[in-house]
Structure 1
């Protein structure tokens, strides 16, 4: 009988590095009654065979913050626990074989400077000096990060486990978690089995750190945890005479990484088309197991490696290794509380970067569980981004063949997934496809990003410059600015909240006043207690007791969970009605003319003012027209019963022919909203960004009574903001902005671009980004008096800064 208590504060399932890190950090926070259950032996799943690369620079500031924390943690663990982690800070180097890859590395170097990561660009000669065994004949350049290194994954996990035990956590091997038990949507404990013995631990919280077993364990409770194992290959050479300590080397253009250890070279691969594994489940006795060799699959990588590092031709192969690792549909791991079950937490799906991620992820999750909110913005890895359909195993099997290789693929802007597409389509999909739509994917939705002209290739030609769709999107952009454009936004998340207490619930959740007359549309945010933005949405009052919340497609599950979590005992029902209505946006100066042709309603300003909604006749059917805009022009969003959407589209298309109606895509919408300085959740505004510092104080009603975050807004108003979201226009019309480019104020890096696009009406790249105040409450005039530059791939470019929209600052066009 294992030594297990009848109850615990938390049960952690899985004894890999992720579970051990969560246990360590909860114990560090002073939690007691922590139980970690490992089905076999600690690290026996995937942790034990990881390559152990510690690269601190990630794709965003907060992911870099977590990776840097991991590196710092692994340095100090040995002194704390007495167990060696094998951490060796020998630096890392990435080399580029193409101009496009070099551009990416230079942009990453700029980004690293913002994030406080030391990085040094390298010429081909400097690459040779640092790694003399490398064939650099075709190397364009590289970057060196001296703070990176490598470590022993299993020893790190064991050190974390020891550190957790030293603080009172109980870590038990040989005990399998059979299922998480629940009652009325809340965790109640874990059923376990050890040999022939079975039992139960009562607990209000569990953490699923089950790795490649995590998806199936989560499914038993209806929790969506989309991940799938893939085969991951590497070889280890025999000892090579004279081989000295070398930095970790990545050659992403050849899908390869190299690690020197004890005079041997480990060569690993992230090949473009990976091999999914475990389609029929993972056998019960899997423990420190390897998968069958597949030399044919690995051989192309090896051939390139021998040419890249000729000494490998004479080195014998000591080990050919193939082991499973978990991958997710978007190459980002999962962290946080599952929206389906209260108290069910997740830390899983690390996409082959689990060693560098788990230290920081365990810290962040522990703080989240302890405080009830994340320590900083973690939306990139938040479990609430997962879509329910993504638990489909065929979908996962197809998608992870691609996501493994994307780790080393060119990370071009606007890159679209190629596999497992077409799951969610609007009622207009085939109409748009027939007219040249080129689709992108968000939350599984196929959305028209741009339209190809007749005879043009309907695909992306990726680059860091103006991609092939740039002129098409410019035409769409200018149609929205000068004429009339039509966009399919059926992917919007649509949440209906109704019942006797619906108004009171929403008035407490939202910063703006929701108790308005039926037919009014309210732009608002839902805030957390710190004044950070949990959701950016519009709320339309449909009747005395019914409201429609419209949110981005990507945040629907998050927003549903947030509203439901705050219902309490209120008499109100929350329903996802996203599929019930299609949304057609009619936008531009001529939109009123077009609407008058398809409907007998009065669309004048007096009869149909901005911020109102009403049912209209449209063609032979009915629609609800919302006068709002995300492109900064006169226009209406038409909410149409799904079965009438095709008819409505055909009526609008026919009526707009002589008005020059243009079908427009999401790229044009994005460039228009950037010009108007409209914020985008997940980039410009997050749960870490205070609503006042985001420049959204106009959407906060302090006179309506209590709401979540009100005290934080009052406090910030009293103290003054510590930073402001500003808009920038480059003075040079050629460079492009995407995100994370450094912002310089009077020659010093102070922040980064949160989102960027080309402003076709303004004639240059436009970006948004936060700039710290020199002192709390620094005036707008003082901030604007400084000189600003944006760094693009190492080049500093002067920029015009503004705190009001550079395009139509008084919104005369929107309300005209």
Structure 2
């Protein structure tokens, strides 16, 4: 059975030979075959100290509890008002009202104070007053009820508002269950179940890519990036979830060598894995910006024109955001043939399209391998899976293999020339 130790601080995750081996606590070291970093808003710092990326940041979260309201139904359904960024629920005969405001207040940028433990932060009535007025407009009874509690406490949020689950790509047997973006209680049962299965079986029980910790990029450890994105991330929980919506904060982290030229050509950029990528091009006189809608959006005709140009003529694509690794050494070919479904024993200069499969015959990666020299290969994969695929490759290289895999994503640009006239 499980043993629970209260009032014991974990000060360090122990790592030996690339594997988690336990935790160091104020009561001594505790050895374990597996470690789960479920430290909430402390998970970022604890993970970083172990060499892992756990991108989350705390933000102030506000709610009030009214005095008792006579006649308030005990089974009042939860009410959410997206326009007012508010939620309302009955709480022991009182009304609890909380907010996910569009411009949030990040907290703890320099780290969570050692003495802090689920405490209350100072009130900020000026920040919350417009939201409270909107809540009273929606539920007029609030205007007649006294406020028993004004609460401000920190919760952690991730850059994409999806939680972080699974084994870290940097350290074996170190798992993460954190960054639940204020839905930890409702997600806990399912998250705990799939994480337990993942630990026991050695793989996730279903497709969990949306919340997989391996989607995180190393640059997302940066506290300034996390602070800037958290200003936006909290409010997006109640914002309209437009198709193709792009984040507005913490942009411009990764740019290709052609970024300025693409911008001058009218590019409207989207973000993938921190990269600024041209999603479509605005013609002269048209603003290169999204106008969101659930119908056909403003970029459709411009994207269609690009499609027709490439389909009938030729187009140049900046694909520099692709993840890229070199695999080099005397056993490079053997290693890649072990991992790849296709045969990479090809002449120098030839490209092989292949998948990487797991022991269950399922696809783990979809990519190309180019033989650059007798003992050197270039692997090119999707931008979003840069971290995930490199971890998969390294973990399936025999320890005694005379080969090394190096991430060279930022070292090379990629240009694609496509269309029926691409060879002209």
TM bucket by the smaller chain?
over 0.9
Q: Distance in 2 between matches of 1:533 and 1:301?
A: 47
- Identify which of 356, 361, 370 aligns with 2:200: 370
Q: SS state of the match for residue 490, structure 1?
A: coil
Aligned positions of 1:711-790 closer than 5 A: none
Q: Distance in 1 between matches of 2:307 and 2:84?
A: 38
2:141 equivalent to 1:311: yes
Question: Any idea what the Cα deviations from partners look like across 1:60-82, whole Å, max 9, x if unmatched?
Answer: xxxxxxxxxxxxxxxxxxxxxxx
- Identify which of 420, 424, 429 aligns with 2:254: 424
Q: Which residue of 1 aligns with 2:410?
A: 579
Q: Distance in 2 between matches of 1:230 and 1:271?
A: 11
Q: Distance in 2 between matches of 1:263 and 1:201?
A: 45
Q: Which residue of 1 aligns with 2:384?
A: 554
Q: SS state of the match for residue 170, structure 1?
A: coil
2:296 equivalent to 1:466: yes
- Identify which of 271, 292, 301 aligns with 2:131: 301
Shift of 1:502: 1.4
2:42 equivalent to 1:209: no
Q: Distance in 2 between matches of 1:204 and 1:242?
A: 54
Shift of 1:188: 2.5
> Structure 1 segments of 4 or more deviating over 4 A?
none
2:255 equivalent to 1:439: no
Q: SS state of the match for residue 193, structure 2?
A: helix
Q: Which residue of 2 aligns with 1:402?
A: 232
Q: SS state of the match for residue 347, structure 1?
A: strand
More deviation, 200-209/343-352: 200-209
Q: Distance in 2 between matches of 1:353 and 1:507?
A: 43
More deviation, 324-333/252-261: 252-261
Q: SS state of the match for residue 542, structure 1?
A: strand
Q: Distance in 1 between matches of 2:34 and 2:403?
A: 27
Shift of 1:359: 1.3
Q: SS state of the match for residue 179, structure 1?
A: strand
- Identify which of 178, 188, 193 aligns with 1:358: 188
| Count of matched residue pairs | 422
Query: 2:118, 2:153 within 8 Å by CA — same for their partners in 1?
Result: no
2:69 equivalent to 1:240: yes
Query: 2:320, 2:412 within 8 Å by CA — same for their partners in 1?
Result: yes
Q: Distance in 2 between matches of 1:189 and 1:288?
A: 25
Q: Distance in 1 between matches of 2:357 and 2:82?
A: 41
Q: Which residue of 2 aligns with 1:633?
A: none
Q: Distance in 1 between matches of 2:303 and 2:118?
A: 52
Shift of 1:183: 2.2
Q: Which residue of 1 aligns with 2:341?
A: 511
Q: What stretches of structure 1 of length at least 5 have no aligned partner?
A: 1-167, 594-816
2:10 equivalent to 1:169: no
Q: Which residue of 2 aligns with 1:15?
A: none
Q: What stretches of structure 2 of length at least 5 have no aligned partner?
A: none
- Identify which of 220, 223, 230 aligns with 2:52: 223
2:337 equivalent to 1:480: no
Aligned positions of 1:68-147 closer than 5 A: none
Question: Any idea what the Cα deviations from partners look like across 1:548-598, whole Å, max 9, x if unmatched?
Answer: 1110000010000000001122111101111121111111112111xxxxx
Q: Which residue of 2 aligns with 1:535?
A: 365
- Identify which of 260, 275, 278 aligns with 1:448: 278
Q: Distance in 2 between matches of 1:350 and 1:364?
A: 15
Q: Distance in 2 between matches of 1:283 and 1:548?
A: 45
- Identify which of 555, 563, 568 aligns with 2:393: 563
More deviation, 454-463/201-210: 201-210
Q: Which residue of 2 aligns with 1:758?
A: none
Shift of 1:519: 2.3
Q: Distance in 2 between matches of 1:394 and 1:475?
A: 39
Shift of 1:288: 3.5
Q: Distance in 1 between matches of 2:206 and 2:312?
A: 41
Shift of 1:305: 1.1
**Structure of greater relative contact order (alpha carbons < 8 Å, 6+ residues apart):** 2
2:351 equivalent to 1:521: yes
Q: SS state of the match for residue 160, structure 2?
A: coil
Question: Any idea what the Cα deviations from partners look like across 1:42-101, whole Å, max 9, x if unmatched?
Answer: xxxxxxxxxxxxxxxxxxxxxxxxxxxxxxxxxxxxxxxxxxxxxxxxxxxxxxxxxxxx
